[in-house]
Amino acid sequence: MYLTFRRNARGTTFVELLIGTTILALILGFVARWFFMQKEYQKRLTRISDIQNDFRRASWEMIQEVQMARTIIWPRINSDDSLRSDTKLVFKDFMGRIISYYHVPGTKEVRRCVIPNGPGDPVVNPAPIGRGIATMTFTATSPTNRVISYCMSTDGVFSLDAVYLMNAD
């Protein structure tokens, strides 16, 4: 006489549950690791994109005004004709006003002010020309004083550009 046992297959065994949980944990571990890596990567890319927008905005503002300027007052090339750089740019605009763009390292801003042609304090624009700019340098390279190069950088993102004065005296 033999007894036959029919197996009841209505659920999972403990071992199967353990194996399934382990595999699920491994998969979720990989997914979580990938997710956080992508999150950091996307954050970095967003930051790069924001920095480029900041550079574009600042460049646009400066180029519009400087290319119509009449003369660059500072920086000017050195006496040995070598180039000269500074974090501020001073020029006479097409209306004859003395304007300065200057970099403020503490706030990472480029600001604009109007320097009075006589006694008085400079009048600073309420809003900065550029934000989030870690370094900014204006460079005079030419004896004719008609080209100003500038270099901006923030967190490994760079912008190299220049402006030619179309309206120079």
Partner 1 sequence: MNRRALSFVEVIIAMGILAMCMLPVMTMFGSSGRAVLKSQNLAFAVGLAHRISQHLFDAPYEAIVEVPLPGNAIAGGPDDGFFNPLLNDKTTGAGALRITQAQLPELWMFLRKYDFRYSLIVNNVNFATGDQMKCVGIIITWKEGGKDLLYKLYTYVPDL
In whole angstroms, what is the distance from residue 94 CA to residue 61 CA?
15
DSSP letters for 77-117: --TTS--EEESEEEEE-TTS-EEEEEEETTTTEEEEEEEPS
Of the pair 12, 125, the CB lying nearest partner 1 is at: 12
Task: State in angstroms the smallest separation of the CB of 123 from partner 1.
Answer: 27
Place of tokens 């400079």: 122
Task: State in angstroms the smallest separation of the CB of 31 from partner 1.
Answer: 6
Close Cβ partners of 96 (under 8 Å, ≥ 6 residues apart): 70, 117
Of the pair 86, 93, the CB lying nearest partner 1 is at: 86
Of the pair 44, 116, the CB lying nearest partner 1 is at: 44
Of the pair 59, 114, the CB lying nearest partner 1 is at: 59
Q: Give the binding site for partner 1 (CB under 8 A).
A: 9-12, 16, 19-20, 23-24, 27, 31, 34, 38, 41-42, 45, 48-49, 52, 55-56, 59, 78-86, 137, 139, 141-142, 144, 146-147, 149, 151, 153, 156-164
DSSP code for 119: S
